[in-house]
């Protein structure tokens, strides 16, 4: 068995490492590194005072707060909902399971602006869903809760698609062994299943949080975009572009970029440590 694995690892399936590697590097350079470098070069032309003024404007600072709060609340909610969806799709067989599994990826296929318009109509005070919240004086569309709803919609697939493969590959023998040793269902879940899912949950939640930080189309259609209340950072970037204040827009974009890169780097570090810990066990 080991010799077979060693054979496949040492024998390339795709012809030519040099060609494959060169194409990959070229793609990453043109699509990712070049635009990022151009943004950083453009920002480097600003003085520190100009840059600091652009990213610390009172309206921009409030947009940071709104974006972070919305991303945090949506990530907490979507982690719970996404875990339940992944669990139901994986562990149960029922009519419509394939349809639900397909609908999970709808936010990836649907334009976010269309999603935002649809959500705003559904949750407005006279909408199908919003009318029931309006009875209790809860406003969702054109308010902060609308931002959370939009972020939940767009980030849901990250949780489900991170947890679902782990649940599918989980060995039933572990649960059967715990059951034979006298563990009840809750003990099996907390001590056998959940520890195995933690790396996938952290990965999916982190990706959902990062995705929510940069969400634009769905959020601006439902948030109402009220200054100092429901403006997100991506909207402030767009506002600066409309004002033809390109240096300020680039400065705000660099903050979002650096925050996303930092979070992705931390995610890789956490993943590496979790996998090493799991391997050590």
Render pLDDT for 21-80 as a digit per residue (tens, 0 to 9).
777 878 877 777 787 787 878 788 888 899 999 999 999 999 999 999 999 999 999 999
Which position has the token pair 């990062």?
210
For the four alpha carbons of 248, 251, 256 and 259, in that order, the dihedral sign comes to negative
Residue 206 lies in a domain: yes
Residue 43 lies in a domain: no
Percent pLDDT > 90 in the chain is: 42
Task: Give the C-alpha separation, 26 to 31, whole Å.
Answer: 8
Q: Where are the alpha helices (DSSP H) in 47-129?
A: 48-55, 58-91, 97-103, 106-109, 112-123
Residue 99 lies in a domain: yes
Please give the residue range of the domain that contains residue 223. Answer: 60-232
Question: What per-residue confidence (pLDDT) applies to 31?
Answer: 75
Residue 95 lies in a domain: yes
Question: What per-residue confidence (pLDDT) applies to 11?
Answer: 57
Question: What per-residue confidence (pLDDT) applies to 133?
Answer: 92
Residue 201 lies in a domain: yes
Task: Give the C-alpha separation, 35 to 52, whole Å.
Answer: 22
Residue 54 lies in a domain: no
pLDDT digit string, tens, across residues 133-147: 999 999 999 999 999
pLDDT digit string, tens, across residues 240-264: 999 998 889 999 988 888 888 888 8
Task: Give the C-alpha separation, 100 to 88, whole Å.
Answer: 10
Domain count of the fold of the chain: 1
Those residues with Cβ within 8 angstroms of residue 135's Cβ, 6 or more apart along the chain or in another chain: none
Contact 162, 202 (CB under 8 A): no
Residue 10 lies in a domain: no
CATH number at residue 120: 1.10.3720.10
Residue 69 lies in a domain: yes
Question: What per-residue confidence (pLDDT) applies to 153?
Answer: 94
Task: Give the C-alpha separation, 207 to 259, whole Å.
Answer: 13
């Amino acid at each position: 068995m080991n010799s077979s694995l060693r054979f496949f690892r040492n024998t390339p399936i795709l012809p030519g490492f040099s060609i494959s590697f060169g194409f990959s590097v070229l793609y990453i350079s043109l699509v990712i590194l070049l635009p990022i470098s151009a943004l950083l070069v453009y920002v480097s032309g600003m003085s520190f005072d100009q840059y600091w003024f652009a990213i610390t404007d009172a309206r921009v600072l409030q947009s940071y707060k709104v974006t972070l709060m919305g991303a945090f609340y949506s990530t907490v909610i979507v982690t719970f909902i996404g875990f339940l969806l992944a669990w139901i799709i994986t562990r149960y067989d029922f009519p419509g399971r394939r349809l639900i599994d397909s609908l999970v990826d709808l936010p990836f296929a649907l334009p976010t602006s269309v999603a935002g318009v649809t959500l705003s109509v559904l949750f407005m005070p006279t909408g199908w869903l919003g009318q029931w919240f309006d009875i209790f004086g809860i406003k969702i569309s054109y308010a902060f809760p609308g931002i959370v709803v939009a972020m939940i919609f767009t980030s849901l697939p990250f949780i489900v698609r991170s947890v679902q493969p782990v649940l599918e590959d989980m060995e039933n023998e572990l649960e059967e062994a715990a059951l034979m040793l006298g563990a009840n269902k809750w003990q099996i879940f907390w001590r056998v299943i959940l520890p195995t899912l933690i790396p996938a949950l952290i990965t999916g939640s982190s990706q959902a949080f990062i995705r929510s930080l940069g969400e634009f189309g769905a959020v601006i259609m439902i948030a109402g975009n009220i200054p100092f209340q429901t403006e997100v950072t991506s909207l402030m970037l767009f506002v600066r572009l409309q004002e033809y204040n390109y240096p300020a827009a680039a400065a705000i974009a660099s903050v979002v970029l650096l925050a996303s890169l930092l979070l992705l780097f931390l995610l890789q570090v956490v993943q590496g440590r979790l996998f090493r810990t799991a391997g050590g066990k």
